[in-house]
Structure 1
C-alpha cells in the first residue's frame, strides 16, 4: 500500500489541473483497494453542499451534477463527524440516502473518510462494494492517508487554480573579476589550480520522440541505469578512506533514488506510455526537480541538484558519451570548479590532490558542502558571478570562511593566505587537545556546548569535537530521505540511533518542522509567503495523526536511555503549546500501556517568532526549557529573507534589535528559573557566543565544526570580561560597528587566529 501511495502521490503531483488529479485518485484507489467504486465529493461551505466531482464505478453523468446537503446521507455524516465511517450494510443505516442519478443501489459496503486541510473540511472520499463486508484496518488507514494528500492538492487548486509549474533555472554569469563573492560552504583556505568539471550530458536539450520499439528502449534504459549505479558505487568507494561509513551514506541516498521502485520505475512507465528513454528521463527528472525547487528551505531545495546530477549521469550512458573511464591528470593542488558541484563529482578527484571546491550554484546546505565539511575541504558555494568556464588552469584562492574566491592572486595576497593556511594547521592541532576539556571561563563560569544534528554523520563528528549533548536534532531530515511518511517503527529506529550515540548526554529532538518552506515531495505545500504560512507546529497540530506517530516513536526510542528532550517549533500562541502538550501526554500514556517503561521527557519550545519573545513568562510556566532559534528570529525581527540576494545584506545577526530581543529572552527566562539556550548560527559564531554567554544563556548549540573554536575562546576569557564587552556593544546602534568592536576585543585578547576572517555584520 505504501508503494502504491507513493505512485499515486507522484502522479497526482504531475497532474495539470484539479480535475485530472481527482480522476487519477479515484481510478488508482479503486484499483489499489480492489473495490468497485471510488468517488470524491467536494464540499462548498458557501452553499453548504457536497458535489460529486469524480468517480470510478458510478455513472459518469452524475459528476458535477449530483449534490448533497451538509447533513444529507452517509457522506454528510462523515463530513459532520470529521471521522471515517466503515459499514457493511449501507442501505440499512438510518442516515443512508439513495441518489438514483449515481446508480449506487447495488453497493452495500461503504467506507468514507473526510478530506481535511488546515482544520477545514474540503470534502469526503468514498469507496463502495457490492458484497456486504467491512473494509479492514489497513484499507481504512490507506484511504485516510490518501485523503490527507488530496487535501493539500485541493487547497492548492483553490489558491492557484492550477498545479504550480516552475520555470527552469536561468543560468547566471557575470563579468570576470579578481575577487568573487559567494557563500561559505566549508571553513578554511585553499590555494591551487582550477580544474573545471562539466556534466557529461545536457538534459534540457533532450526532445521527446516516439520509439520504434518500447522493449528496446526499456533495455537501453536498464543498461544505462545499471551503469549509473556502478559509477556512483565506484565514486563512493574512492572516498572510503576519507569519510566514515555514515558519511558515505549520502551515496546510498543516490543509489536509493536510482532504485527500480523510485526514479527508475517512473522513467520506465513514461517509456511504456510512448516516449523514448531520453525523453522519459527528462520528463521524470524535471518533475522531481520541480518538487524541490519550490521549497524555500535551502537544505531541502538542494536535493534538486542531486536529482539533476543523477539524471545527467544516466543520460550520458544512454547517449554513449560517458567519460568516466577516461583517466584525468588532476593538478597536484586541485581547486575543483563547476556550475553545480555534486557529491559524485567530489569522488572523481583523488583526495590527496583536492585543495578546495567552488560551485556557481548551491548553498552551505548542499550535500557536497556537507561532505566537504566532513573532509575538511575549504568550499565556496553560490559564486553566481564567476565566469567558471574561463577559470581552467588559473591559480585560485578559496576562502571558505567568508565565501570568497580569488583568481590569479598577486604575490602579496598569495603570501597572506599561505600564512593563514599554515596557521590553520597549527590551530587544528591545538583545538583537538581541548576535546575533553570543559567550556569554562577563567573565573569559573561553566557553559555546556551542544551540537545541531540532522544525520548520524553529524552526531559522530560532534562526539569527535567534544559535544556534550544535542541542542537541536532536525527530525525532518529522515522524512526528507524517504518518498513517504516513515512508519512509527522506522522513526523509532532512527531516533534510537541518535539517542544511543549520545547517551547518557541529552538529545533535543525538534518535532517535524515542515510546511511552506520545507515541503516534502509526498506532502506538497505551495504558498505565496511560506515564511508566514503553514509550517512547524501549525502543520503537525493540524495533522495530529502525524504528530502522535512521531512522539510515540521518540518515546519508545528513549526506553532505557531517558536522555530524550522534545522541542516544539514555530510557537506563536500559548494555545499551541497547550494542544501539543495534551497530545504528548496522550502519546506517553499510550506507550506505557503498550508496556514501554518510558519516563516523561522534558518538553521545550523554540523562540523564533517575535510574538514568543513577549510571552516568555507564560511559555516558561508550561514547559521545562526554552531554546532560541536565532536564524528565524532574526529573519522575522528584521523582515528579511536572508536567501534573497536583493536583501541578504540586511540580514544582520548582530543588529541592535536582535541583540536586545535576545537579552530580553535571557532575562525573562532567568526570572522564571527556566533553562534557556540558543541553537541558531549565532551560537556557533565565536563573536556571538561571547555575547550570548554574557547575556546569561545556559547552553549554546551549534554546528560541530564551530564547537572547538567556541570552546577555546570561552576557556580563554572571564565572564566579567564578556559582560563588560556586552555592556559596551549594547550601547551601539550599528551592526557593523558591533561586529568590529567584538572582533577587535577578541584580537587584543589573543584570539585573532581562532576567530578568523569575519563577514561584516553577518
Structure 2
C-alpha cells in the first residue's frame, strides 16, 4: 500500500489543477482498493452543503450538480463527527439519504472519511461496493491517509480560487488563511508578486574543467559581478534604512570577500579540476549544511544568506543577469518568495512595498530584521502556502499574528483596512507622548527603558521616547562575526550605544550564549541546551572572554559613566562573587592603563527559579536586580518557548509566574534594591500595568511597544492598577487572568491600544 500511496501522491502533485487532481485520486483509489465507487464531496462553507466534485463509479453527469446539506446522509454524518463511518448496509442506516441522480442504489458497503486541513473540514471522501461487507482496518487506514494528503491540495486550490473555477461558480473567491511566524508587525494589503531566485544551485552537475585557470577567471568575474549587484541593491535601500542598519549588507560583502567564499571556491577548482559552477555548488552546499545543523535559530538562518549569494554568483557564471530587465512590480506589492533575502528586498521600490511573505525562514532572518527596521509587515515560515500560484492575487499580510489571507472577502478586507487605518492613526496619536513621562493620573512615575541589540534599535528607541536601556544584548555583535571580536572592536561598538543614550543609563548584559544562541566559531552542542552550559556559566569558565568584554565596556564608558553591567543566568551567590571579582580586576587594569572611569553599577538577572528564593542574598551583593521574564516563565512552567508543540503552555499570565514576580519585587524592596523587568511581559500593556502595581521600579521593552505602554500608564490611577493586581492574583487560570486584564483595560478605554497586537 505504501508504494501505491507514494505513486498516487506523486501523480496528484503533478496535476495541473484541482479537477485533474481529484479525478486522479478517485480513479487511483478505486483501482488500488478494488472497489466499485470512489467519490469526493467538497464542503461549501457558504451554503453549508457537500457538493459531489469527482467520482469513479457513479453517474459522471452528477458531478458539480448533486449536493447534500451539512447534516444530510452518511456523508453529512462523516463530516459532523469528523471521523470515518464504515457500514456494510448503507441503505439500512438511519442517516442514509438516497440520491437518485448519482445512480448509487445498488451499492451496500460504504466507507467515508473526513478531509480536514488545519482543523477545518474541507470535504468527505467515500468508497462504495455492491457486496455487503465492512472495509477492513488496512483499507480504512489507507483512505484516511489519502484524505490527509488531499486536504493540502484542496486548501491550495482554495487559495488560488481554483475550486470556484472548477465548479463554475461566479461568486467571490473564498478567503483562505495560512499560518506562519510574525516577522515584522503591521498589516499589508496588496497584490502578490512572486520572486524566484535567479538560478538553481542544486541542479548544477560536476564537470571536468578544460583549464583550471580559465575557470578561476570566470569565477572571479562572476564574484565581482555579485559584489556589484549586492552594493547596488543596498544602495536602493539606503534611503529607507539608517547607515547602522546597512551593516547587514556588509555581512553579505564580507562573505563575498576574496579571502572567504572566493578563496574556497578557487581552491576547490584547482584541487579537483571541477568547473566553476560545480566547485561553487560544492562549497556553498557544504556551508549551508554546516549552518543548518546548528541549534541556534539565528545562526541557522545564515544558511539562507549563503545560498542566496551562491545563486547570485551562479547566475553570473551562467551568463544570465537577473536584473537586466526592470521588473514590473505592482503599486501595492506584496513580495512573496520561497526564501526571501535582504538582497531581494532591495529589488522592489520602497514606495511600492506593502508586505513580505517568505515560505521559509523565521523572525531571526536578516530579511525580518530589515523589515522591522523599514516598518514593512512581514510573515515568515508560511510552509503550507502554494506560493507559485499566488502571483497577481490579492493578499492580506497580518504581521501581528503571523497570518496571510489570499483572495480576501469584502468583509475581511474591510476589517483589516480598519485595523490598518486605526494603527496609522494610533501611531500619530502616540507620537505626541514621546517627550512626556510615563506617569499615572495620580502622579506615580515609572521609567520606561528599551531592549536593544543593533545600533539601529538604539536610534529608533530614542524616537519612541526611551529613557534608557534596560537590556543591551552584547551577543549580537559576536554573532555578526566569524571570530571573537577584539577588545578594541568591542569597545567601539559599546561606545556607540553609550554615546547614543548618554547621559541616560545603558545596561549591558555580559555575553549570553548557549540555549538558543551559539556562535559558529564557538559551538556548544548539548542534548538539553536550555539547562546546560549557557550565560554566566560559559563566561566564568572562560575568564579570558569575560575579562576582555568587561574591559571593553568600562573603557567605552570613559567620560560618559552611564554604563551598567548585568550578569545573566545567575543561579547562586558563588557565581556573583566570582564575577564581581573579575569585574573589579578589569576595572583596576583599565585604571592602570590611564583611563579615567568610574566603577559601573553591577546587577544580576533573575531568570532561574533558584534565584527567586535568593533575592536577599543576591541583592546584598549587587546594585540592582532585573527579571528576565521570558526565561523565568519557561523555567517555572518547564516549557521551551521555541517549541511549537508546547507553545500554548507558555503562559506569561500563569498564576505561578505572577506570584513569583510579586515575590521578587517584595524581596528586592525589603533590602532597598531597585528591581526591573526586561522581558516581553514589560512590553505588553496589560503586563506593564500589573508590574507597575507590583512595585517594579522600571520596565524595559521593545521600542515598538513603548508608546502603547506609556499611553496606558498615563491613562490609569495607581490605586486602580493595584486593585486589578489584587484581583488577578486570586485567580487560578492563565486564560481567565488574561481575559480579566483584557476586559478591565477595554472598560478603561484602552481597547484601541491592545486591539491589533492582541
Q: Decide: shared fold, TM above 0.5.
A: yes
| CA shift digits 1:81-119 (9 cap, x unpaired) | xxxxxxxxxxxxxxxxxxxxxxxxxxxxxxxxxxxxxxx
Helix, strand or coil: the match of 2:244?
helix
| Greater alpha carbon shift after TM alignment, 737-746 vs 200-209 | 200-209
| CA shift digits 1:313-338 (9 cap, x unpaired) | 22222223331222111111111112
Is 2:499 the counterpart of 1:507?
A: no
How many angstroms apart in 1 are the aligned matches of 2:264 and 2:549?
A: 29
Helix, strand or coil: the match of 2:246?
helix
Q: Tell me if structure 2 keeps the 8 A contact 1:513–1:536.
A: yes
Cα displacement (A) at 1:610: 1.6
Q: Tell me if structure 2 keeps the 8 A contact 1:516–1:526.
A: no
After superposition, the Cα gap between the structure-2 partners of 1:700 and 1:301, relative to the gap in structure 1 and judged at 3 Å, is: farther
Cα displacement (A) at 1:209: 3.6
Q: Tell me if structure 2 keeps the 8 A contact 1:517–1:535.
A: no
User: How do residues 147-158 of structure 1 correspond to structure 2 at under 5 angstroms?
Assistant: none
After superposition, the Cα gap between the structure-2 partners of 1:282 and 1:402, relative to the gap in structure 1 and judged at 3 Å, is: same
Helix, strand or coil: the match of 1:451?
strand
* Structure 1 residue aligned with 2:202: 204
* Structure 1 residue aligned with 2:606: 607
User: How do residues 584-599 of structure 1 correspond to structure 2 at under 5 angstroms?
Assistant: 584-599=583-598
After superposition, the Cα gap between the structure-2 partners of 1:202 and 1:410, relative to the gap in structure 1 and judged at 3 Å, is: same
Cα displacement (A) at 1:686: 1.6
| CA shift digits 1:246-297 (9 cap, x unpaired) | 1122112211121112222222222222133233323333343344334444
How many angstroms apart in 2 are the aligned matches of 1:280 and 1:720?
A: 69
Q: Tell me if structure 2 keeps the 8 A contact 1:228–1:313.
A: yes
* Structure 2 residue aligned with 1:237: 235
Cα displacement (A) at 1:385: 2.2
How many angstroms apart in 2 are the aligned matches of 1:307 and 1:319?
A: 18
* Structure 2 residue aligned with 1:62: none
How many angstroms apart in 2 are the aligned matches of 1:570 and 1:288?
A: 32
* Structure 2 residue aligned with 1:130: none
Q: Tell me if structure 1 keeps the 8 A contact 2:339–2:358.
A: yes
After superposition, the Cα gap between the structure-2 partners of 1:655 and 1:362, relative to the gap in structure 1 and judged at 3 Å, is: farther
* Structure 1 residue aligned with 2:404: 405
* Structure 2 residue aligned with 1:652: 651
Q: TM-score, normalised by structure 2?
A: 0.75
Q: Tell me if structure 1 keeps the 8 A contact 2:514–2:530.
A: no
How many angstroms apart in 2 are the aligned matches of 1:611 and 1:279?
A: 54
* Structure 2 residue aligned with 1:701: 700
* Structure 2 residue aligned with 1:491: 490
* Structure 2 residue aligned with 1:363: 362
How many angstroms apart in 2 are the aligned matches of 1:710 and 1:439?
A: 8
* Structure 2 residue aligned with 1:261: 259
Q: Tell me if structure 2 keeps the 8 A contact 1:232–1:344.
A: yes
* Structure 1 residue aligned with 2:691: 692
* Structure 2 residue aligned with 1:556: 555
| CA shift digits 1:143-178 (9 cap, x unpaired) | xxxxxxxxxxxxxxxxxxxxxxxxxxxxx9884361
* Structure 1 residue aligned with 2:468: 469
| CA shift digits 1:462-504 (9 cap, x unpaired) | 1111111111111111111211111111111111111111110
Cα displacement (A) at 1:707: 1.0
| CA shift digits 1:444-479 (9 cap, x unpaired) | 111111111111111111111111111111111111
Cα displacement (A) at 1:555: 0.7
| CA shift digits 1:111-137 (9 cap, x unpaired) | xxxxxxxxxxxxxxxxxxxxxxxxxxx
Cα displacement (A) at 1:302: 2.4
After superposition, the Cα gap between the structure-2 partners of 1:531 and 1:204, relative to the gap in structure 1 and judged at 3 Å, is: farther
Q: Tell me if structure 2 keeps the 8 A contact 1:187–1:377.
A: yes
Is 2:378 the counterpart of 1:379?
A: yes
Aligned counterpart in structure 2 of residue 226 of structure 1, from 224, 227, 242:
224
Q: Tell me if structure 2 keeps the 8 A contact 1:295–1:518.
A: no
| Greater alpha carbon shift after TM alignment, 392-401 vs 263-272 | 263-272
How many angstroms apart in 2 are the aligned matches of 1:451 and 1:301?
A: 26
Helix, strand or coil: the match of 1:316?
helix
Is 2:250 the counterpart of 1:252?
A: yes
Cα displacement (A) at 1:731: 2.1
How many angstroms apart in 2 are the aligned matches of 1:424 and 1:470?
A: 26
Cα displacement (A) at 1:516: 4.8
Helix, strand or coil: the match of 2:706?
helix
How many angstroms apart in 2 are the aligned matches of 1:757 and 1:740?
A: 16
User: How do residues 120-519 of structure 1 correspond to structure 2 at under 5 angstroms?
Assistant: 175-176=155-156, 178-274=176-272, 275-519=274-518
Q: TM-score, normalised by structure 1?
A: 0.75
| Greater alpha carbon shift after TM alignment, 296-305 vs 651-660 | 296-305
Q: Tell me if structure 2 keeps the 8 A contact 1:173–1:387.
A: no
| CA shift digits 1:209-231 (9 cap, x unpaired) | 44232212211211111111111
User: How do residues 9-20 of structure 1 correspond to structure 2 at under 5 angstroms?
Assistant: none
Q: Tell me if structure 2 keeps the 8 A contact 1:295–1:516.
A: no
* Structure 2 residue aligned with 1:92: none
Unaligned runs of 5+ in 1: 1-171
How many angstroms apart in 1 are the aligned matches of 2:701 and 2:544?
A: 31
Cα displacement (A) at 1:409: 1.1
Aligned residues: 588
* Structure 2 residue aligned with 1:111: none
Q: Tell me if structure 1 keeps the 8 A contact 2:284–2:306.
A: yes
* Structure 2 residue aligned with 1:67: none
Cα displacement (A) at 1:414: 0.8
Is 2:623 the counterpart of 1:630?
A: no
